[in-house]
Amino acid sequence: MSNEKQVDSGRRGLLVATCAAGGVAGLATAGALVSTFQPSERAKAAGAPVEVDIAGLAPGEMKTVEWRGKPVWILKRSPEMVESLKKTGDQVADPKSERNPNELTPEYARNEYRSRKPEILVAVGICSHLGCSPTTKLQPGAQPSLPDDWQGGFLCPCHGSTFDLAGRVFKNKPAPDNLEIPPHMYLSDTKLIIGKDEKGEA
């Protein structure tokens, strides 16, 4: 091999080694940058309280926020929706939220509305059966997979569990419990905080 070819080969080897070292350094730097974002993600997953503005929520509307990686529904019930809870009281399996109250229903939500205010429902949108997320079926009346006297509520498409507009599971359904009500409190008439209440519970 000539001297010139040996020099070219040496340069090429040096270039490859330099690029490889640069790539490793770049990856290490990128990894360090990504890791700086992890604490806030961990804090969110650990259940940092979430503040929600509900000023623009009209009767019959629902918004979803995330808390502890779970969907939390905030439903502003219309007067008709609130009234419908009297009709479903004898059809649900746990009307007074007496099953697993410490895990599923704070004391201030152990009422027929399962809420602090009759018109506002705050509930974790995860079925107590196998962890699926039910779909909203707020419109009353006969619909596919629902009874003819449906008053509005939620349907879990996985195994057919149904919940009324207070998140109470109907009798003889696979879901063993009502939907979870997370700790929450009102900061004002239009703002609430999810994941914390007056006792500091989360």
Tally: H helices and E strands in the chain: 4, 9
pLDDT level of residue 78 (50, 70, 90 thresholds): very high
User: Is it the case that residue 54 has pLDDT exceeding 90?
Assistant: yes
Nearby residues of 101 by Cβ (< 8 Å), 6 or more positions away: 107, 110
Q: Please state, in angstroms and as integers, the Cα–Cα distance from residue 35 to each residue in 26, 39, 45, following that order.
A: 14, 8, 15
Per-residue pLDDT at 118: 96
**Residues 182-196: tens digit of each pLDDT:** 999 999 999 999 999
User: Is it the case that residue 84 has pLDDT exceeding 50?
Assistant: yes
Per-residue pLDDT at 161: 94
Q: What is the pTM of this model?
A: 0.75
User: For all residues of the chain together, what is the average pLDDT?
Assistant: 82
